[in-house]
Amino acid sequence: MNINRRHLMILLPAAAVAWKHVLAGTPEDSPNYQMSEHWWGMLIDIPKCIGCGNCVRACQTENDVPDGFFRTWVEQYHRSDYHLETPEVISPDGGKEGFPVVKEGEEGKFFFVPKMCNHCTDSPCTQVCPVGATFITPDGVVLIDPKYCLGCGYCVQACPYGCRYIHPEKKVADKCTLCYHRITKGLTTACCEACPTGARQLADLKNPNDPIHEFLKTHTVQVLKPQMATGAKAFYNGLDGSVR
């Protein structure tokens, strides 16, 4: 324990500057961020997910997600050997408090699948918005303008993945922002920050040094519902065919 040393550290200019940058309110305060230099996505490594629910809680904390609605959630799949196409899926309270224990020796395969907005390149939700209240940013994040949204719910219907909801108090569409307020300041998303196993990794496809490139080269990666042709950017490693 070296509390004195720690306090001293806080007063050091370098630490103070770094933190100030994180706290910066607007992009103008983070002048190093250029939208044109990024193209954001997410890597979800299913074999690493332990279903702890850390991501769901972290997202709720970071983004004030209302109870009963989810910007990210975790599903537990049970894919029986006899019904490959009709898995049993549970997600109690979005998996926020984890899952009931599955006993050793149960028939079939059990695994966890974290879900979130896929930040689709050709997103059906932004296509149908009647007023331009939801859109994809130049850096590839699908956002909602809460000051412009009518709350018509058309985008909610158009999302094939069930990622959107109407915020019960704000009465506007709401969903994952890929923690846009964090990634534009050099931080990772709250879910990635809180994930203990690295099952979720923020990916910048325009950054040649991002480990995503090596990962995509060496793994078999799939997106959810590829038949929807949405250009989804949440890449799943080890995705079972029964996942929908």
Partner 1 sequence: MSGVEGYMYPNEVTLYWSVLIVLYPFITGLVAGAFILASLERVFRVEAVKPTYRLALLTALAFLLVAPLPLILHLGHPFRSPEMYFTPHSTSAMAMFGYVYMWYLMAVLVFEIWLDYRREIVLWSQQSKGLMRTIYKIMALGSSNIGERSLHIDDKVGWIVTLIGIPSAFLLHGYVGFIFGSLKANPWWSSPLMPVVFIFSAMVSGIAAVMLLYMAVTKLRKQAIDMRCVDTIAMYMFYIFIIDFSLEMLDLVHRVYEADESFRTLNFMVHTKLYFSQIVLQIFVGTLVPLILLFITQMVKLPEIARKRIYVLSGSLILISVFAMRWNVVIGGQLFSKSFIGYTTYKMALVTREGLLVAIGLTILPLFFLWALVKLLPPWPDKDLHEAAAGD
Partner 2 sequence: MSGLKDAGHLFRFAGLFVLAFLVFLVVRAYVVPKSFGEYGHYRGAAIGEIAAHPVKFAGRQTCETCHTDIADIKAKGAHAHVNCEACHGALAAHADDPMSVTPVKPDSAVLCARCHTASAAKPASFPQVDPAEHSGGAPCVTCHNPHSPIIGSDFTANAAKGGAK
Give me the residues that bind partner 1 (CB under 8 A), please.
68-70, 73, 75, 86-91, 93-94, 115, 124, 127-133, 148-154, 156-166, 170-172, 228, 244
**What does the alpha-carbon distance between residue 190 and residue 212 come to, in Å, rounded to a whole number?**
18
**What does the alpha-carbon distance between residue 103 and residue 36 come to, in Å, rounded to a whole number?**
49
150 binds partner 2 (CB under 8 A): no
Residue 166 binding partner per list partner 1, partner 2, none, with a CB distance cut-off of 5 to 8 Å that depends on partner kind: partner 1
Binding pattern to partner 2, positions 57-96, x when CB under 8 A? -x--xxx------------x--------------------
Question: Which of 9, 226 has the CB closer to partner 2?
Answer: 9
Which tokens go with 61? 């904390």
**At closest approach, how far in Å is the CB of 20 from partner 1?**
36
Question: Which of 8, 226 has the CB closer to partner 2?
Answer: 8
**What does the alpha-carbon distance between residue 201 and residue 98 come to, in Å, rounded to a whole number?**
20
Residue 170 binding partner per list partner 1, partner 2, none, with a CB distance cut-off of 5 to 8 Å that depends on partner kind: partner 1
**What does the alpha-carbon distance between residue 86 and residue 55 come to, in Å, rounded to a whole number?**
26
Interface of this chain with partner 2, residues 151 to 170, rule: CB under 8 A: none
Task: Write the CB contacts of 227 (distance below 8 Å, at least 6 apart in sequence).
Answer: none
Query: What is the separation of C-alpha 177 from the centre of its chain, rounded to a whole number of angstroms?
Result: 8
Residue 166 backbone phi and psi in degrees, to 5: -95, 120
DSSP state of 78: E
Among 42, 43, 44, 52, binds partner 2 (CB under 8 A): 52
Residue 23 binding partner per list partner 2, partner 1, none, with a CB distance cut-off of 5 to 8 Å that depends on partner kind: partner 2
Question: Which of 145, 193 has the CB closer to partner 1?
Answer: 145
**What does the alpha-carbon distance between residue 5 and residue 1 come to, in Å, rounded to a whole number?**
9
**At closest approach, how far in Å is the CB of 55 from partner 2?**
10
Q: What share of the chain is helix, strand, coil (3-state, %, to 5)?
A: 30, 20, 50
Interface of this chain with partner 2, residues 103 to 132, rule: CB under 8 A: 103-106, 110-112, 132
Residue 97 host element (H or E): none
**What does the alpha-carbon distance between residue 5 and residue 72 come to, in Å, rounded to a whole number?**
39
**What does the alpha-carbon distance between residue 179 and residue 83 come to, in Å, rounded to a whole number?**
37
Give the residues lining the site for partner 2 (CB under 8 A).
1-2, 6-7, 9-10, 14-15, 18-19, 22-23, 25-28, 35, 47-54, 58, 61-63, 76, 98-99, 101-106, 110-112, 132-138, 143, 145, 147-148, 177, 180-182, 184-185, 187-188, 190, 193-198
